[in-house]
A and B are shown apart, each in its own frame.
Chain A
Amino acid sequence: MSEQDRPGGDITEEQVEALVARLHKQTQAGGYYLNPDEEFTRILVRSLMKNQARYGYQACPCRLAAGEKLEDLDIICPCDYRDADLERYGACYCALYVSAAAARGERTVSSIPERRPRARQDRPQFKQPAATEQAAVPALPYPVWRCRVCGYLCAREEPPGVCPVCKAKKDRFERFM
């Protein structure tokens, strides 16, 4: 493999393999699938590690990160657009994640259109939370939190530290009700 195919040259193959293995385990538990093309997946995982090192979080390798967490919150992997792209195209934007059919090799994946809104104010982290748009919300014993990545809902005082379905972190939750 040439240098241009290998982002994050100081990251070892063992470190990449370890993260690939961890992601496989996590994704399978949540009903998601990594790209079955192992070489392709290793390149992307290495890129995620490069972004972790330079930004402090795993920004999407195929989008230009701003380098500020709030600005990039919607494109931290798994991104807010993954599930809709899996439905529509059988792969997410970078194609690290694929649909069940693509994971079985029944569907090929390719470079897909960008779903992320171009205007900053239209991105999920800057839009008004759903709760404030609703006219009348019945009194609830607990607030309801929604994971912006996978749609998981839970009723508790605070969102969980990690989404039990897609493993997105606490800051990816929004107040839903």
Chain B
Amino acid sequence: MSHAVQFDLSEDQSAILGGLEQLIGTLNIEAPKDPVVSAYSQPLDDELTTGGFFEITQSEGFGLLDGALIVEALAKLPVSVEAAASILIAPSFLEDAGRRPVALVSGSAAAPARFLPMAKTLLVDKGDDVLRIDIPEGAVEDVETLFAYPYGRLKNPGALPAVSLGAGRVAELRRRWRMAIAVEAAGLMQSALDTVLEHVKTRQQFGRPIGSFQAVQHRLVMAAEQGQATRWLALRAAWSDSEADAAIAATYAQDATPKFCNDLHQFCGAMGLTLEFPLHHWTYRLRALLGEMGGSSGSALAAADAVWAGKVP
């Protein structure tokens, strides 16, 4: 075959991910010691900016798939940083790439949004239009949540000028947003699963590691399958940039995560329900992602719409 299917990382991709790993290593990023609900890493944000990681999709020879691999790698960390919207959405919606972090919101500009406390731009999916709002200093109030992302809402959304990007941009925003959800979910699922696998190998009950019980093994195997499926669907969506693929990837991720998170917490017992155990750094975020863009039912409708309209690659 002249066009072999390529599932391995290219040399360039390996080099970029290696560079990212090195950068993360120098920052010595660990799960926060004090029990906290959310932790945004500004030092990581700064380093990623300096390193040009947010502009990767515009670099010669790189595209969405390379950006997706970076978003996935960053999601594995026990701290958050706004990368998915900056890398996968912003380049085609922002005139000035420096106006990030980017927050996204559906429906009303007044609704709470992830990353709004530090965002410089808010993109609003109005259904029949996409609005771009520049966020001045002091325009946002924090919203306390249990979802491990910094949330905020505009204090006075009517007072900020909004640029209409037109109805023609709605589909693109939604496609990229769903792609971003799936890619980020894949990274979060991987770290969450790794944390639990480590726990069940070491935690002993009835004189043996709880990971040796079949009831535990079988469900963790299912969780691993869901993590892998999410990952490949997400990467395919980034590779094809098609509406059907993005919506299918989001549907799968959003549908799988409640059970996935439940099982993972179940096997960490009461310890897994505390802020002293790191699992929540990933499951809180998964919970937040699976509620966006209409959740799994909204994404499934979008997928059906794309498939029935023949927009399938």
> Are A and B physically bound partners?
no
